[in-house]
Chain A
């Protein structure tokens, strides 16, 4: 247990090992650890961001869905309205067409009646003639003639 040169030997090697540690051991290990810590922090931040993005995307999706539903409802409403409108229009058109057809038929009937009447009027003369011939052929009887003429007239 003597104090001797070992003291200085130990001091010398102590400083040597500390210098070695300071130059070649500590900085790379600490740098690697710090780098890893940063990487992990970045990873965690990215995960956070991703989950936040996901939340946002979900919110957006819900919103879009809502919008789409509203839009669809609007479209259905519009379509219903339009359908009703079309039906109404068709009804009106059909009514108008029916009216028009009816009017046309009526006017045709009237025309037919008028034509028939004109024809009859033309034939009245011939009938009168034939009637007159018959009267002339037979004896003229006032009473019978009146009846005959009446009958003719009723035949019109």
Chain B
């Protein structure tokens, strides 16, 4: 809810600003009017303005910590299952984990026909990790940031997958794997695929190269931006609904109804997006393994 003296747009912008630590370049003006001296200054950004001034040499502390934390949660949960798993009767969370493993294994087996022991664990990591990151979207938008604000931390985005750095980071990781396996499996065939497709004649090499490279680059971008776009839009709607609560007592009931409806719908989205990211990763890597 918008706090005292904050307009709705300020409230929204505040919610969309990451907690950023980075290097302010020399000569930039700080929030209190002071000017950064020679050599720049590594500091925590106060607001979007400063974060923008930091440019590339900055890190989203909140996204990073939540993302790593959830990744560690995944590792811890599944490592415990791996230690507990036996050929006996499974119980409790072991059942859930085994169901997920079975599900991922089945999906990978139907989509990916090569032999690569990395694909299935990669898919499982993506599915569970992205799901956990998306799941943070279902926490009330003001709960964690509000509590942290009491502790003196003024910016907090708790849904890592609404940060394009996070989703594109994963997509680029997948892209590197795609390139690696394309070259490893196909060798020169990969170059040929880029240059001699779809028109198999040397005259068309520039045209082919352009089309294929665009097609190739579109894969990681669409992969990362799809997840980001969906989660960002979902988060935005949650923020708008939260702002609606602040519009007066009359709006409480409709805001509550919309909130519940959107939250229920969003449960579907967070699972679906995690699944899509996983399946597309497997598909892209499968294409990288297929030698024509």
A interface residues, Cβ below 8 angstroms from B:
1-11, 13-18, 20-22, 24-33, 35-36, 38-39
Q: In this complex, what residue of B is CB-closest to A31? A: B85
Selected from A13, A27, A36, the residue in CB contact (under 8 A) with B87 is A36
Q: Which residues on B sit within 8 Å (CB–CB) of A7?
A: 165, 168-169, 172
Say whether A4 contacts B60, CB under 8 Å.
Answer: yes
Interface, chain B (partner A; CB < 8 A): 16, 20, 22, 51-52, 54-60, 63-64, 67-68, 71, 74-75, 78-79, 81-83, 85-88, 90, 97-98, 101-102, 105, 117-118, 120-122, 124-125, 129, 160, 163-166, 168-170, 172-173, 176
Name the 5 nearest CB pairs between A and B, nearest first: A10-B169, A6-B165, A32-B85, A35-B87, A22-B121
| CB-defined contacts of B118 to chain A, threshold 8 Å | 18, 22
A20 and chain B: residue at smallest CB distance: B75
Question: How far apart are the CA atoms of A8 and B121 in the complex, in Å?
Answer: 21
Q: How close is B131's CB to chain A, nearest CB, in angstroms?
A: 13
Within the complex, what minimum Cβ distance (angstroms) separates A22 from chain B?
A: 4
Asked, given contacts A6-B60, A18-B125, A29-B98, whether A1 binds B87 with beta carbons under 8 Å apart, the answer is: no
Q: Is the CB of A10 within 8 A of B165?
A: yes
Chain B residue at minimum C-beta to C-beta distance from A6: B165
A2 touches which of B52, B74, B105 (Cβ 8 Å): B52
Partner of A1, one of B16, B68, B90, B129: B16
**How far does the alpha carbon of A70 sit from the alpha carbon of B166 in the complex, in Å?**
86
Docked-complex contact B59 and A28, CB < 8 angstroms: no
Known: A22-B121, A33-B102. A6 touches B169 (CB 8 A): yes
CA distance A104 to B74 in the complex (A): 120
Q: How far is the CA of A13 from the CA of B75 in the complex (A)?
A: 12
Known: A4-B56, A5-B56, A18-B121. A29 touches B170 (CB 8 A): no
Q: Which residue of B lies closest to A4 (CB)?
A: B58
B124 in complex: contacting residue of A5, A25, A33, CB < 8 Å? A25
CA gap between A5 and B51 in the complex, in Å: 12
Quick check: B87 and A10 within 8 Å, CB to CB? Answer: no
CA distance A28 to B78 in the complex (A): 10
Report Cα–Cα, A36/B7, bound state, in Å.
Answer: 60
Q: Name the one of A5, A10, A16, A36 contacting B166, with C-beta atoms under 8 angstroms.
A: A10
- Asked whether A3 lies within 8 Å of B87 as measured between CB atoms, the reply is no
Contact B58 A26 (CB under 8 A): no
With contacts A14-B170, A18-B121, A39-B87 taken as known, whether A25 is within 8 angstroms of B75 at the C-beta atoms is: yes
Inside 8 A of B90's CB, which chain A residues have their CB? 36
Residue in A20, A22, A29, A35 whose Cβ sees the most chain B Cβ within 10 Å: A29
How distant is the Cα of A9 from the Cα of B57 in the complex, in angstroms? 12
A17 touches B169 (CB 8 A): no
Q: Which residues of B contact A15 (CB under 8 A)?
A: 173
Write 15 A-B pairs (CB below 8 A) sorted by A numbering.
A2-B54, A4-B56, A7-B169, A10-B173, A11-B169, A18-B121, A20-B79, A21-B74, A21-B75, A21-B122, A22-B117, A25-B78, A30-B101, A30-B105, A36-B87
Q: How far is the CB of A76 from chain B (nearest CB, A)?
A: 58
A25 & B86 in contact (Cβ 8 Å cutoff): no
Determine the distance from Cα of A24 to Cα of B80 in the docked complex, in whole angstroms: 10
Q: Provided the pairs A7-B169, A29-B101, A39-B87 are in contact, do residues A21 and B57 lie with their beta carbons within 8 angstroms? A: no
Q: How far is the CB of B252 from chain A (nearest CB, A)?
A: 31
9 extra A-B contacts, CB within 8 A, seeds A10-B170, A14-B170, A30-B120: A2-B54, A11-B172, A14-B125, A22-B121, A25-B75, A25-B121, A28-B85, A29-B78, A36-B90
For residue B213, give the distance in angstroms from its CB to the closest CB of chain A. Answer: 21
Report whether A32 and B86 are in contact in the complex, using a CB–CB cutoff of 8 Å: yes
Q: B60 touching A29 by the CB < 8 A rule?
A: no
- Does A13 contact B68, Cβ atoms closer than 8 Å? yes
